[in-house]
Structure formats: C-alpha cells, structure tokens
Amino acid sequence: MSSTLRNIVVIVTLTLMVVGLAVVLTVGGFGFSLPPHNVRALATIFLNTTLNLDANYRYVSAMSPEAVTAIVWDYRGLDTLFETSVMFIAIVGALAISRGATEKLLKTSPPVLGMSLITKTITRITIVMILAVGASIALHGHLTPGGGFQGGATIAVVPMLLIIIFSIYLFSKMITIYKAVTLRSVGLIGIALSSFIVLIIAALYGGSAYIFQNQPKLHSHYGLPSYAEPILLGGTLLFFNVFETLAVAFGFAALFILFTIPEDAVKSAIMGEE
Amino acid sequence: MEVESFLFNIVILSMFVNMAIALYGIFTRPSLIKKIISLTIFSDTVNTLAIVVGFRHAIPNPIPPVVVEIPPSSQYLRLFVSRAVDPLPQALVLTAIVIGLAVVLFLMFTTLQIYRIYGTTDVRKVSKLRG
C-alpha cells in the first residue's frame, strides 16, 4: 500500500517537473527562443580566435582550426588535466576492490579457449583497421573533429575484442593489469610534462611563459611552431592528443580486464583469507 | 522559421519527458543495475540537451565549428563566425562524458562487489542486511 502511494507521489512530482520545465521554455526562461539566431558572445570570441593569423588576434589565437580542441586543450588548460585524472582515480578504486584476483588469474592456465577459427582470423584482420582508424582520429585531433579521448575510446575496442574472442587468460598474459595501469600513468605524466614544454623553452631563453600555454601570448612571446606555410602543426595540441590517447586506451584496457575476471577467481580472492 | 522552432520545441519537450522517465527509474526501481541504466539514460539526455542549446539558426545552414580554409581570410572568418554553432557546449559535454564514465564505473564496481558479497542487487534486501 505504501509503495503504491510512493509510486503515485513520484509520478506526480516528475509530471510537474516536466510541465514546469516546459512552461519555463515557453515563456523564454532559458534566455532565447529555439533555435537561437546568434551564439553567445563568448562563443563568438572562441570562433573568432580559434585560427586567426591577423596581427591583432595573433596573440590570443589557439592556432587550431578545430574550436572544440582549442577550448579543451588551450583555453581551458589545467581543468582538462584534472578531468582526465578523475577516471584514473576510478580505476584505482576498482583495483583496490578486486585486489589479489589478477594474480590468481595468471596462475591458472586452462586448455585452449576462445571462439572458432573463423572469428579469430576475422578479429586479427579487423584489429589492424580499428587501430588505424583510432590513430587517425587521435593524430588529426587538432585539424578535424576528434582528438585524444575519441581516438583512445576507439582503440579501446581492441582489448575488448581480444578478451571476448581470445579469452581473458591469453589477454592478461599479453598485458597484465599493472602494465596497463603503468602505461596509463605514463600517458598522464606525459600530459603533465607537455604542459611545461613552453615554460621550459621560455626559461632557456630567459623569458616568462604560462603553464599550458600553447601559442605566444601577450606578455610571453614563446610557443611551439604551429604554422609552417601550408601545414598546421598545432603546437603542443598534438602532444596532448597523443598522450591522452595512450592514457584513455590503456585505462579502458585495465577496466576491461577488471570487469571480465572470472567470478570464482574474485570470490576466492575476497573470501579466501577468512 | 516557425516550423523549425515548433519542431525544436517538440525535441526539447521529449527530452524533458525522457529525463522524467529516467528519474522515475532511479527513484522506484529496486534493482541497482536498473538504477545505473536509468542514470546513464539521464546523463545522456542532459548531454544532448546541452548540445541542442548550442545549436543555432543560420542561413542557409549552420556549420560545425571547424575552420576549413587554411590560412583563413578575414572574409571567410566573418562568414564562419556568423554560421558556426557554439563550440563551448560541445567541449563541456566532452568533459561530462568522461566524468560520467568514471562515475558509472565506480557505481558498477560497487554493485558488482555488493552482488559478490551479499548475493543480491535488490536495495530492499541489501538495506535489511546486518553486518
């Protein structure tokens, strides 16, 4: 009886929420009618300065034709670094929960496992293609839509396929979970070091620069080369994308291993000591 | 323009309804797995809403925020600024996806551990357990 009453209360509340939000939308409570004719003033600034060789804008431009990459790795800077480390902390938490189970996994060596020969052959072919597409998305991150996170998530399909098709035992012999977490840490450290590149260059020349500075700014005229006549090099954005790909791809690999550890191995690891 | 505006309002309204359904799942379903599924539906809906808010009306059509003429002439840049959609919500949603992934991951591991230790994911049974 009380659960029915609770259900009714929840449904009425949620219906009121939808009606309220709809009313807010109708009377223009979001500050615009849809679709808006103009973007916000902030977006106009970003769009205008994302790639602008004009002398007035040269010292505020991110020199990346892709505005989203420019915002994520240049205008927003350190925020993105900490955002990347949030997932790292989630992985560390997961490792702490299933501690000891991966060592047990390596000790057991069952007979030949995995799917049929056809599936294995097809997987061997597609893995190369997936890696190529992921690398293309990641390395062109400063030129076209895409970037480190998207490319890394694409590459992360490969460990998933290997685990499903060739079994977790074989995969955890190729990449142990500690190796995956170490490589992810290498990616994160690479991101942190790339943010200091311009500062190091400026220190060598006796000038000053900002952390996470991609291009020359008003009071510090240092930066990595970003534009050689026909080609856009992207400055530090390329380094950020490469290291982010490494971090995300191996982060996912570690997670897939953790999620697919057989139940009895985990159970014996959790309950065994008691 | 009127038809476009009408269709946009329908899309937004359906997103509000979708949010309400996802919240209903979070509040009333007893299974932790179903709660997590509802949570992902909710976060995806909110992300899509943020993307739609960054959309704009441009003639003849809006373009993605990517400069394709290199080096850009000032004439091209003026056209670009007047037609490109807002890149800021897209960058924020990229962040939101990563953070949401980490949150879902943590919840999934906690649920898996609850299932391994107590043998159930029903919150009514889990809340009655002692020790």
Q: Which residues of B touch A68 (CB under 8 A)?
A: 65, 87, 90-91, 94
Q: Distance, in angstroms, between B37 CA and closest chain A CA?
A: 17
Residue A127: its pLDDT value, please? Answer: 95
d(CA A212, CA A78): 7
B78 in contact with A at a CB cutoff of 8 Å? no
Q: Which residues of B touch A43 (CB under 8 A)?
A: 54, 86-88
- How confident is the prediction along chain A (274 residues), in pLDDT tens digits per residue? 578 898 899 999 999 999 998 888 888 776 666 777 888 888 888 888 888 887 777 778 888 888 888 888 888 878 888 888 887 888 888 888 777 777 766 666 676 678 889 999 999 999 999 999 999 999 988 888 888 888 998 999 999 999 999 888 888 888 888 888 899 999 989 988 888 888 888 888 888 888 877 777 777 778 787 777 778 877 888 888 999 999 989 988 888 888 888 777 777 777 665 4
B16 in contact with A at a CB cutoff of 8 Å? yes
Q: Are A260 and A163 in contact (CB under 8 A)?
A: yes
Q: Which of B24, B56, B116 sits opposite A35 (nearest CB)?
A: B56
What tokens were used for B108?
């999934």
pLDDT of B131 strictly over 70: no
Classify burial at A215, counting beta carbons within 10 Å of its beta carbon; exposed 0-12, middle 13-18, buried 19 or more. buried
Q: Which of B27, B66, B105 sits opposite A90 (nearest CB)?
A: B105
- CA A240 vs. chain centroid, Å, equals 11
- CB neighbourhood size of A268 (10 A): 14
- Segments of chain B assigned E as strands: none
In total, the C-beta contacts within 8 angstroms joining chain A to chain B are: 153
- List Cα–Cα distances, B99 to A271, B25, B102, in angstroms: 32, 21, 5
B52 in contact with A at a CB cutoff of 8 Å? yes
The verdict on whether omega for the bond into residue A145 sits within 30 degrees of 0, i.e. cis, is: no
Contacts of B10-14 spanning 24+ positions with Cβ under 8 A = B11/B52, B12/A25, B12/A34, B12/B49, B12/B52, B13/A18, B13/A22, B13/A25
Residue A274: its pLDDT value, please? Answer: 47
Among residues B54, B29, B23, the alpha carbon closest in space to that of A21 is found at B23
Contact A86 B98 (CB under 8 A): yes
Q: Which of A43, A259, A267 sits opposite B87 (nearest CB)?
A: A43
Give the pLDDT band (50/70/90) at residue B26.
Answer: very high
Q: How many Cα atoms occupy the beta-carbon half-sphere of A184 within 13 Å?
A: 27
Sign of the C-alpha dihedral computed for residues A168, A170, A173 and A179 taken in this order = negative
Q: Distance, in angstroms, between A206 CA and closest chain B CA?
A: 32
Contact A18 B20 (CB under 8 A): yes
d(CA B128, CA B25): 21
Sketch the domain layout of chain A as residue ranges. Answer: 66-272
Sign of the C-alpha dihedral computed for residues A55, A59, A64 and A70 taken in this order = negative
Q: What are the residues whose beta carbons fall under 8 Å from the beta carbon of A68, sequence distance 6 or more?
A: A145, A147, B65, B87, B90, B91, B94
Q: ipTM of the predicted structure?
A: 0.81
Give bridge partners of residue A217 from the DSSP assignment. A220
Contact B91 A53 (CB under 8 A): no
- First and final C-alpha spacing in chain A: 42
